[in-house]
Amino acid sequence: MGFKRKIERSALAFVLFCGGGAIHAAPVHETLIVTRLAEPEDQLVAVSNSGGEPTLDERIARFSTAVSLATAADQQLIDVRCKSADVGSASRAVRMAWEANCRYRRR
C-alpha cells in the first residue's frame, strides 16, 4: 500500500514538473520606461535653541547620568545589605537568599 502511494506521488510530481511549463501564464510584453530623476539637493536646517530648552544631546546625557547614579546607589545598597547580613545563625531560606544575592558578586 505504501509503495503504491509513493509511485502515485512520484508520477504526479513528474507530470507537474514536465507539464508545468505549458500551464503557466504567458509573459506580458510591456516596455520598461526608465526615467532619470534630478539629483536630490541637500537642505540643511539650522536649529535655534533660543527658548532655553535643552537639546537632544543634553537630554540624553542627563538621562544617562541619572541612570548611572541610580545604578551606583542600588549597587551601594546591595553591598551594605550583603556586608551587614548575619548569615551564620539565619535560617536556610535566608542563607539561600543571601547566597543568591551576595555570594557570587564581583569584588
- Give the start-to-end residue ranges of the domains of the chain: 69-107
CA 30 to chain CA centroid, nearest Å: 42
Q: Is the model's pLDDT at 23 over the cut of 80? A: no
How far apart CA 81 and CA 103 sit, in angstroms, is: 12
> What 8-state DSSP symbol labels residue 24?
S
Predicted confidence at residue 21, as pLDDT, reads 54
pTM of the predicted model as reported, rounded to 2 decimal places: 0.42
pLDDT tens digits, residue range 31-51? 878 888 888 787 777 666 666
Q: Is the model's pLDDT at 61 over the cut of 90? A: yes
**DSSP H helices in 1-107:** 2-23, 56-84, 92-98
C-alpha cell at 77: 545598597
Q: Is the model's pLDDT at 7 over the cut of 90? A: no
Predicted confidence at residue 99, as pLDDT, reads 82
